[in-house]
Structure 1
Amino acid sequence: MHDLVMPSSPAASGKPHPLVVRLTEENGYPLLANLSDLREFIARDGAHCVFVPGDSARNLETPDAAVVLPELRMAFQHAFDCAVADNAIETKLREATRALKTPSFLFYRDGAFVGAIEKIRDWDDYIARVSHLLAQKG
């Protein structure tokens, strides 16, 4: 019998999971380190998604969400841009949007919050929810 090791095991508490880091380092998503960064990002024209990863050591869905987000963006032909919320602003961001569960994708249009997708979902559910959120006006 073999011991199985999960390839995407969580990082130590307080440190972002490598798959979350990949979003900023390889995919070029901005890391929103403060509320000023957030306001600047969401004020741009168009639709935006802010990924709130949560603590990957306590939330085993975080790595999955980090893989899903770029796939969603491609499925919607880059109809929205993406950023990652830094741990420093996560609590304030979750309270402001009332999206308290992580991981979550927070959607904005032209500076206004339009809705959230919390926790991991089935692909069809993501497609339906993102379609609905992208149709919302800010």
Structure 2
Amino acid sequence: MTHPLIVRLTQELGWPELNTQEELAAFTSAPGIHVVFVPGDFKRNLESADVAVILPELKMAFQSRFDCAVVGDEIEEAVRTEAAVLKTPSLIFYRDGRPIGGIPKVRDWDEYIARIKQIVAQPATTA
């Protein structure tokens, strides 16, 4: 069972839920910047629902400069480990299939804005 605010992201907003490494790779390798929301265990971490409300607002504030998906339980640990963002809930940003930054836990709005500006301003990596 998942929190209704997290379910809203996939069912109402149509964001993909990524349950395999293949789905993650396909989503994050597409052109542009991508954010994956790693909710963690919403029963133990009440902040997960807060981030589920905040992320759509951040996407609008950045005029859809990035797209969003929700990471399923099946790959959550691997995603957090690869991105070195171990706390949940977290937002992990990708470009060219690689993590380019992350924001763990709930933050103040101004801190989200400042961090996201820094992350999306990073130059694209070269393979």
TM-score by length of 2: 0.96
Q: How does 1:102-121 map to 2 (within 5 A)?
A: 102-121=88-107
> How big is the shift at 1:110?
1.9
AA aligned to 1:44 is A
| Structure ID, larger Rg | 1
Question: Does 2:58 correspond to 1:72?
Answer: yes
3-state SS of 2:81 partner: helix
User: What's the counterpart of residue 17 of structure 2?
Assistant: 31
Q: Moved runs in structure 1, 4+ residues, more than 3 A?
A: none
Q: Residues 43-74 of structure 1: CA distance to partner in whole angstroms, max 9, x if unpaired?
A: 00000000000000000100000000000000
Gaps of 5+ in 2: none
Distance 2:81 2:113 in 1: 25
Distance, in Å, in 1 between the alignment partners of 2:20 and 2:2 is 16
- Equivalent of 1:88, from 63, 67, 74? 74
Question: CA RMSD of the aligned region, Å?
Answer: 0.7
How many residue pairs match? The answer is: 124
TM-score of the aligned structures, taking structure 1 as reference length: 0.88
